[in-house]
Amino acid sequence: LTFHILLQLISWGILIPIGSILGINRSSLHPPLQLITTLLISLPAISLPHLFPSESYSSNAHSKLSTPLTLSLIGQLLTGIFLKTHTLERTTLRLGVRIVHGVFGRCFPILSWTQFILGGIAALGFCFGSRTGQCLAHFIMGSAFIGYGLTLMLMIQYGQSWLRRHKTSQDHLDCWVITVWGVVNTFTEHGVFFSAGWNWSHKDMQHTALGAFWALTGLLGIYQSRNARRSIVPGLIVMISGWVFQSHQQSIPFSTKVHGSFGVTLMAAGLIKIIEVCWDGSESSLSTKRQRRSNGIREMNAFDHITPLLLVIAGTMFMSSTEEQILLILKINMDHSTYLLCQVSVGSMIYLYFNLMSSLYRSTRPLDDQDREVDQNLSYSKQQKEEENDDDDDEEEEEGKKFEIRPGAGYQPIGSNLINS
């Protein structure tokens, strides 16, 4: 089992993401890396548990997901080999194979993350029976916060030109996602379209009200952020949601403290996002302010990292606050501060992983025509600024030569016939 987990982490957590990034950038290292990863690591890692007696591994969601995961991996390999042969160029069949190959590659991050989560649940024996619903809520919501943090980080670095081309803002997109999420949450927490009857539990009322808050406040943000305007509404929604979660009373005091820390982290993330919008100094995201670019990609400053990092940490905390996890922590006599430090460490490690993958993409990304134009404009602007500075220095030097210092006479124009008496 340990060898199986190690192989899965190496293949699906490291090598396959690296291969996908190289494939996006059309690197020559993409085909051999994916081939080696598939044949030598991924497929053995998936099939390893089946080599042991079946009674050692009960059927669960983790084992059932391995079949579509294996098929997608094999499909990715076969379509990649077909594309590498360069047969049937400029045909509809080749175009379809290329689309399928791209879909497989883009599904890997979601499938890998889901399989990792299900693997941890299966190893600990959680989320069976009546606890399944609570686990789904925590892991889906926690993954959503982590995904939101990742999306913000990527959009800050790579999405600014896309936002300008489509004349929209990140806040507008955020509000649409929040609104849709709120509508789904409102009409599913107490049964689909409130089909669970008239008896509402405490948590049903809490979660339904929270969904309505997201939906209606999201609509306000959609209106305010129209025409590529910035809006504080997404940050305000995150901050108020954190306050709500921080106020949630749980059946176990330890769990209440963990939920409270999660809520405070969300409140901090929302507040920083509001400050970022106000600090931008312009309502329009079309502004070129703070658009320092390298190779056509915006450089993130220290302040830009705060909100995505806090969202990732908050998502990690929420995923680790199910009732069964809390009971397990209580059994080993760990206090809540130590447990939260562990979650912050895991969240920081996840964010580090995001940054490493982003740096790899940036370092292997080829320059296209638009990027070359941006770099040329930046070089021209820098050269022009240096020439202006040189001209200013020359003017000051010429101005200084018009005067000379004579003892007892102060500054005297050069060539004057003033004679010291």
Q: How far, CA to CA in Å, does 197 sit from each of 182, 183, 191, 308, 415?
A: 21, 19, 8, 39, 103
Residue 336: count of CB within 10 angstroms of its CB: 18
Q: How far, CA to CA in Å, does 260 sit from each of 163, 217, 409?
A: 35, 23, 77
pLDDT of residue 318: 92
SS3 string, the chain, reads CHHHHHHHHHHHHHHHHHHHHHHHCCCCCHHHHHHHHHHHHHHHHHHHHHHCCHHHCCCCHHHHHHHHHHHHHHHHHHHHHHHHCCCCCCCHHHHHHHHHHHHHHHHHHHHHHHHHHHHHHHHHCCCCHHHHHHHHHHHHHHHHHHHHHHHHHHHHHHCHHHHHHCCCCHHHHHHHHHHHHHHHHHCCECECCCCCCCCCCHHHHHHHHHHHHHHHHHHHHHHHCCCCECCCHHHHHHHHHHHHHHHCCCCCHHHHHHHHHHHHHHHHHHHHHHHHHHHCCCCECCCCCCCCEECCEECCCCHHHHHHHHHHHHHHHHHCCCHHHHHHHHHCCCCHHHHHHHHHHHHHHHHHHHHHHHHHHHHHCCCCHHHHHHHHHHHHHHHHHHHHHHHHHHHHHHHHHCEEEECCCEEEECCCCCCCC
Which amino acid does the sequence have at 378? L
The gap from C-alpha 332 to its chain's centroid, in whole angstroms, comes to 33
What is the residue extent of each domain of the chain? Answer: 1-125, 133-377
pLDDT of residue 323: 86
Taking Cα atoms as reference points, which of 15, 263, 22, 273 lies closest to residue 155?
273
Q: Answer yes or no: are the C-beta atoms of 214 and 180 closer than 8 Å.
A: no
Torsion (CA) 258, 109, 268, 254 in degrees, nearest 10: 0
Q: Answer yes or no: are the C-beta atoms of 71 and 103 closer than 8 Å.
A: no
pLDDT of residue 289: 45
pLDDT of residue 73: 80
What are the 10-residue block averages of pLDDT along the chain, 421 residues in total?
78 84 82 78 62 58 78 83 80 87 82 86 79 83 93 90 90 94 84 68 82 94 92 95 86 88 94 89 44 64 92 94 89 91 95 92 72 51 59 58 51 48 43
CA distance 17 to 29: 13
CA distance 142 to 357: 21
pLDDT of residue 285: 43
| Token pair of 117 as six digits | 């989560």
